[in-house]
Amino acid sequence: MTDQPRSLASTLFPVGLLLIAMASIQSGASLAKSMFPLVGAQGTTTLRLVFASLILLLVLRPWRATLTAKSLRTVIIYGIALGGMNFLFYMSLRTVPLGIAVALEFTGPLTVALLSSRKAIDFVWIALAVTGLLLLIPTKESGANIDLIGIGYALGAGVCWALYIVSGQKAGADNGIQTAALGVLIAAIFIAPIGIVHAGSALLTTALGVAVLSTALPYSLEMIALTRLPARTFSTLTSIEPAFGALSGLLFLHESLTLMQWLAIGSIILASVGATLTMRPKSPTLVPAD
């Protein structure tokens, strides 16, 4: 009699963690964008990753993880993808509104969802998400002027996001949540030289809040969700990220959106809810006894 409630709880738990992670990362992105005048997008990315890696090293103590040559390779790919995703996304924020940048970046997980789909209903939710994505992109008629280089950075971040999902599942299966600490450390090492060259001594500015909100907390929660949800489900659920981005941009950066863009966000949210309600429960993984 308790099987159904337990199954429902096991499904909703990683979904809830993912929602918290998305709200956290977009709030942190708003805070980070306000730091651009001080250290630039490159310096902000570096500060975010360095502080977050220090926090996760202390909390998760990843040196306890047992790494093989194969698992180390997946962690390195995961870390580089994470670093590239952060760097390219922040570079796009210099000229693109937060909600639009997140929508463009979403092409990455959307592609993962599309390639992983097996049921006809999946394509309905993906079509809704694509519709919302297209409506979020300003046109000439809307009077908005979006920088093409900024769009390119956001789409590049989407490629890294797709790689982050695929490699994160593989790396997380080997080392669990400790993978988040290892990945962020690798990402910090990968991006730090760029930030140091660009910002120099200005990097001494404290960015603890950005590190916690944008990296340490959300990527830890996402790693838990990644190990409990299929890649297709994770990718489709993250379609709600543009909504969090748009709300954060409105609340913290005063970046208002048109009615059409809010309707687009509603379409994306509907796609996320539909994907959640129709997803197939993941088969339980056998865990060897101690």
Give the pLDDT confidence of 52-92 residue by residue, as tens digits. 788 788 877 877 777 777 778 888 999 999 999 999 998 99
Contact 226, 165 (CB under 8 A): yes
pLDDT-based confidence at residue 121 (cuts at 50, 70, 90): confident
CA proximity to 88, closest of 110, 104, 111, 70: 104
Of 16-30, 138-152, 172-186, 237-251, minimum mean pLDDT range: 138-152
Contact 33, 243 (CB under 8 A): no
Q: Is the model more confident about 194 or about 33?
A: 194
Q: Is the model more confident about 145 or about 15?
A: 15
> Cα-Cα-Cα-Cα dihedral of 105, 182, 35, 193, to 10°?
-100
Task: Find the radius of gyration of the CA atoms of the chain.
Answer: 19
Calculate mean pLDDT across residues 221-247.
73
Residue 159 has pLDDT above 90, yes or no: yes
pLDDT-based confidence at residue 208 (cuts at 50, 70, 90): low
Calculate mean pLDDT across residues 245-254.
77
Amino acid 81: pLDDT: 94
Q: Is the model more confident about 171 or about 158?
A: 158
- List Cα–Cα distances, 192 to 44, 45, 78, 86, 172, in angstroms: 10, 8, 17, 12, 24
Give the Cα separation of 140 and 197 in Å (integer). 37
pLDDT-based confidence at residue 9 (cuts at 50, 70, 90): low
Residue % of the chain over a pLDDT of 70: 74
Residue 197 has pLDDT above 90, yes or no: no
Average pLDDT along the chain: 75
Give the Cα separation of 208 and 32 in Å (integer). 11
Amino acid 285: pLDDT: 38
For 66, left (φ over 0), alpha (ψ -120 to 50), or beta? Answer: beta
Give the pLDDT confidence of 82-118 residue by residue, as tens digits. 999 999 998 998 888 888 888 888 888 878 877 776 7
Rounded to two decimals, the pTM is 0.70
Give the pLDDT confidence of 254-274 residue by residue, as tens digits. 777 778 877 877 887 787 767
Amino acid 286: pLDDT: 32
Residue 175 has pLDDT above 80, yes or no: no
Calculate mean pLDDT across residues 161-181.
82
Give the pLDDT confidence of 32-58 residue by residue, as tens digits. 677 777 778 888 888 778 877 887 888
CA angle 28, 30, 35 (to 5 degrees): 95
Amino acid 290: pLDDT: 32
